[in-house]
A = this chain, B = another copy of it.
Amino acid sequence: MNHAILLLSAPDQKGITAAVTDFVFRRGGNIVDADQHADKDANVFFMRVKWELGGFNVSRDHIASEFRPIAERFQMNWELYFDDHPPKVAVFVSKHLHCLHDLMYRHQQGQLPCSMELVISNHEDAEPLARQAGVEFVHSRVSPETKAAEEERQIGMLKAKGIDLVVLARYHQILSPEFIREFPNRVINIHHSFLPAFVGASPYAQAYTKGVKIIGATSHYVTEALDQGPIIEQDTARVNHKYAVEDLIRVGQDLERIVFFRAIRWHLERKVLAYGNKTVVFE
């Protein structure tokens, strides 16, 4: 059974829920999920509605145009998705391959509703893993001299393939503002600390030096401010004085894999709405 998913935000006001659910019902749709949230401080209303296409008496090509008057009445930002059109994903990775390895395994197990299109890396280490998973691998030799040209080439490939989502599976290059602006809220990073603690390089070494009793991992949308974008998911694990840096890394990598996976899956299921520096996650 295929479904339509409507994700929207709008200035908070009466009647949005009723208007949206009534829209679906009058056309024969069976709503299987409906979630809403209002941020009273920001005065913004958020909603996600998912309904069965079977029995819905508007063809999928016409749903958007029929919905548009409602969207305009409430000044909505909105997107319409169909869950039989899985997003196309590109993975960027450097030398730490645990997140890539986990994503490939989960994709193969059917846990990630997407099409894995491309693995791009500034190193060659990931190539065997990508090939084994049947995903095209591109080696992009990024250096201070080549960075601008390589990014342009990367963007070209992503656009040519119609990539919907870029995930940075421990990609140790900073994307330029130009790159990020091409994919607003469409680039998800995994950072190996509980942000906002330990921004930047070597967070496990920072955590060791600080003597924390909890380590964490954070997955967020990438914005121009390093490690500052809207947080989608975080998790933590207990450690103690016995943990050397390599122990923090080992335990932390397990956190990274889980946190990154959840964030990506929720995005792919169209459960995440970013606004300002925050997210609403209808998990």
Q: Please tell me which stretch of A20-28, A76-84, A118-126, A179-187 contacts chain B, meaning at least 4 of its Cβ atoms lie within 8 angstroms of it.
A: A20-28
Contact with B along A227-263 (1 / 0, CB 8 A): 0001111111010111010000010001000100000
Tell me the count of chain A residues lying within 8 A, CB to CB, of chain B: 62
* Residue from the set A214, A230, A235 with the largest chain B CB neighbour count within 10 Å: A214
A interface, CB within 8 angstroms of B: 14-15, 17-19, 21-22, 24-26, 28-40, 55, 98, 101, 105, 109, 111, 194-198, 209-214, 216, 230-236, 238, 240-242, 244, 250, 254, 258, 277-281, 283
The contact of A109 among B28, B98, B111, by CB within 8 Å, is: B98
State whether A214 touches B216 (Cβ < 8 A).
yes
- A278 to B243: give the CA distance in the assembly, Å: 13
Per DSSP, chain A at the interface is mixed
What is the copy number of this chain in the assembly? 4
* Residue from the set A21, A109, A209 with the largest chain B CB neighbour count within 10 Å: A21
- A34 to B28: give the CA distance in the assembly, Å: 21
State whether A14 touches B25 (Cβ < 8 A).
yes
- A278 to B210: give the CA distance in the assembly, Å: 7
The contact of A14 among B15, B30, B211, by CB within 8 Å, is: B30
